[in-house]
Amino acid sequence: MGPAGAASPDEAERQRRVRRSAVLFAVIAAGFYLAFIAVMLARAAR
Amino acid sequence: MAEHQAHAAPHDAHDHKPHGWRRWVYATNHKDIGTMYLVFACTMFFIGGAMAMVIRLELFKPGLQFVDPQFFNSMTTMHALIMIFGAVMPGWTGLANWMIPMQVGAPDMALPRLNNFSFWILPFAFTLLLSSLFVPGGAPAGGWTMYPPLVLQNGASFPMLIFSVHLMGASSILGAINIVVTIMNMRAPGITLLRMPLFVWTWLITAYLLIAVMPVLAGAVTMLLTDHFFGTTFFTAAGGGDPVMFQHIFWFFGHPEVYILILPAFGIISEIIPTFSRKPLFGYETMVYAVASIAFLSFIVWAHHMFTVGMPLAAQLFFMLSTMLIAVPTGVKVFNWTATMWKGSLSFEPPMLFALAFLFLFTIGGFSGLMCGIVPADYQYQDTYFVVAHFHYVLVPGAVFAMMAGVYYWLPKWTGRMYDQKLATWHFWLSAIFVNVLFFPQHFLGLAGMPRRIPDYAVQFTDWNMVSSIGAFFFGAAQILFPIVIIKCIRSGTPVGNRAWEGAHGLEWELSSPPPYHSWTTPPSDAVIARGAEH
């Protein structure tokens, strides 16, 4: 997991999965944040 | 035994840790970050506790004695924010950091630098929040729920409150992402989902809840900010907005938040009771499904916090009935813990004492919660001390006792030393007695009609307020024993073996005590997993 040294193929694949899932959850969190504000804006515009 | 000693030996050979302040400021090791979280939570627990003492001192007798009403309201608001976001949540994250990698056979958290960032946001967030005590107009005083329009009347502390809540939210979201990613990607081969310890399971579900609801809180407070400074009217009736909508959004976050505070406690109790009953946990899979059900239901009950704002009867019935449903999986859990103890070979070391107190007292908090969930009854209880009694039973002998149970359970593993169990037992009995003296009379006060968040009250409430305050002072004083036990353990505890408790199972007990700085750099073997991962 450390920054030093080349990762094995398995390790590289795991690092890819870690990055992918971290980004996915960050996008979900940001989506919830923006969605609630968007819903309120839509409601206020009615 | 030989196998895990053989495993520990090569670690010890390269067990280099950084020294000095860099070890902590640049920390990426899950154990160091876990320690920082726990120290931070403990500090906040005492700061928030000191505020509780101010509250109970003022309420010792009717009339205004020590503080003015504005400052009193600041104390109730700050006490809640500090205890929820500063003590309980970081406490759980500290335990997660320490234990999850060791319990799933991972060398560290999946994202160590993000882990460092998640932690180091918190001291800034709480310095900002606490420094609002010194700005013109004083600290936020509109309640931790931040309801508009009241919260918009705060002085200079308002933007400080909003920004600090944003920071706390960011820290929680990043921490939660790290935990989900760790559990989903870093488990050792052979640790399937249904072989994970219950503490890991409860934290996985908690982390999903955090990712779903903390952004909602951030969205709500952002809208408050724009209402205050940028002329929007999301929650201002005069501009076409709706203050009640804030309550809906807040509690859409707020009710899952309640489970964020308590689900890891369920995990810890599910670890401790089997250990000190010397039996496997009764109904492991049903426990997992019960936790998942509770988490799901937590999203559809939010409006039971606001029955009295005026909502359609159909909505009241829906939220009342969905609230009642939560009793089912919760009952399953209490049944399973009790069944685990049934015919077990019980012993009553400090972690087990705290776990048993949790079982009895959390259940009392659960029952009073059901009472509050009944619409017509809630019209009587709303905004009274009955509600204060209810959620303090859930959070103090519930979440806080479980956290103390967890610390007393794993402290020998972390330090390699056994603490003074006699002193810890004193800590337990003083806490267990005085927490009831403190909070039980508040049920009577609430039923008699004493409103919450007031610095003064009618004279007929005097006696039970005095009892409650005396309980608070002794409970507060008893907590000083907690850091004393820990410091004494670190300095002069008696060394323990890998498996500090005779009945303990789990991968963490296969490591040396204290565990090597870098543990499970090679995944545990099938034999170690089979021995360690018994539930």
* HEC-encoded secondary structure of B435-468: HHHHHHHHHHHHHCCCECCCCCCCHHHHHHHHHH
Q: Distance (Å, rounded) from C-alpha B18 to C-alpha B165?
A: 32
pLDDT given for residue B95 in this prediction: 98
Confidence bin at A8 (pLDDT 50/70/90): confident
Report the amino acid identity of residue B527.
A
Beta carbons of B177 and A29 less than 8 Å apart: yes
- Which residue in B213, B249, B264, B247 sits closest to B98, CA to CA? B264
pLDDT tens column, B121-132:
999 999 999 999
Q: Distance (Å, rounded) from C-alpha B522 to C-alpha B158?
A: 50
pLDDT at B2 exceeding the cut of 60: no
pLDDT given for residue B17 in this prediction: 78
pLDDT at B3 exceeding the cut of 90: no
Q: Distance (Å, rounded) from C-alpha B393 to C-alpha B395?
A: 6
pLDDT at B482 exceeding the cut of 70: yes
B259 is catalytic: yes
How crowded is residue B48: how many other Cβ atoms within 10 Å of its Cβ? 21
B413 is catalytic: no
Sequence spans of domains, chain A = 8-46
Q: How many domains does chain B have?
A: 1
Contact in structure between B450 and B457 (CB atoms under 8 Å): yes
Beta carbons of B110 and A29 less than 8 Å apart: no
Give the one of A21, A32, A37 whose C-beta lies nearest to B181's C-beta: A21
- Cis bond upstream, residue B514 (ω within 30): yes
Does residue B118 or residue B533 have the better pLDDT? B118
Question: CA B265, B38, B82 angle in degrees (round to 5)?
Answer: 80
pLDDT given for residue B240 in this prediction: 87
> In chain B, what residues touch A44 (CB-CB under 8 Å)?
232-234, 240-241
Segment B143-155 mean pLDDT: 92
CA dihedral angle for residue B56, residue B57, residue B58, residue B59, rounded to 10 degrees: 50
Contacts by A17-26, CB closer than 8 A, 24 or more apart: A17/B185, A18/B110, A18/B111, A18/B181, A18/B185, A18/B186, A21/B180, A21/B181, A21/B184, A21/B185, A22/B110, A22/B111, A22/B114, A22/B177, A22/B178, A22/B181, A25/B176, A25/B177, A25/B180, A25/B181, A25/B211, A26/B173, A26/B177
Residues 6 or more apart whose Cβ sits within 8 Å of residue B35: B94, B98, B414
pLDDT given for residue B533 in this prediction: 59
> In chain A, what residues touch B186 (CB-CB under 8 Å)?
14, 18
pLDDT at B12 exceeding the cut of 90: no
pLDDT tens column, B509-525:
999 999 999 999 999 98
> In chain A, what residues touch B107 (CB-CB under 8 Å)?
1
pLDDT given for residue B280 in this prediction: 94
Burial class (CB in 10 A: 0-12, 13-18, 19+), B32: buried
Beta carbons of A21 and B185 less than 8 Å apart: yes
| Single pTM value for the model | 0.93
B431 is catalytic: no
Q: Distance (Å, rounded) from C-alpha B246 to C-alpha B75?
A: 23
Contact in structure between B405 and B351 (CB atoms under 8 Å): yes
Beta carbons of A44 and B108 less than 8 Å apart: no
pLDDT at B475 exceeding the cut of 80: yes
Segment B5-10 mean pLDDT: 44
B270 is catalytic: yes
Whole-number CA gyration radius for chain B: 23
pLDDT given for residue A7 in this prediction: 66
Full domain range(s) for residue B44: 2-532
pLDDT tens column, B249-279:
999 999 999 999 999 999 999 999 999 999 9
pLDDT tens column, B360-380:
999 999 999 999 999 999 999
Q: Distance (Å, rounded) from C-alpha A32 to C-alpha A24?
A: 13
> In chain B, what residues touch A36 (CB-CB under 8 Å)?
215-216, 219-220, 249
The DSSP symbol for B280 reads P
pLDDT at B11 exceeding the cut of 80: no
Q: Which of B36-50, B109-123, B518-532 has the lowest mean pLDDT?
A: B518-532
CATH of the domain at B218: 1.20.210.10
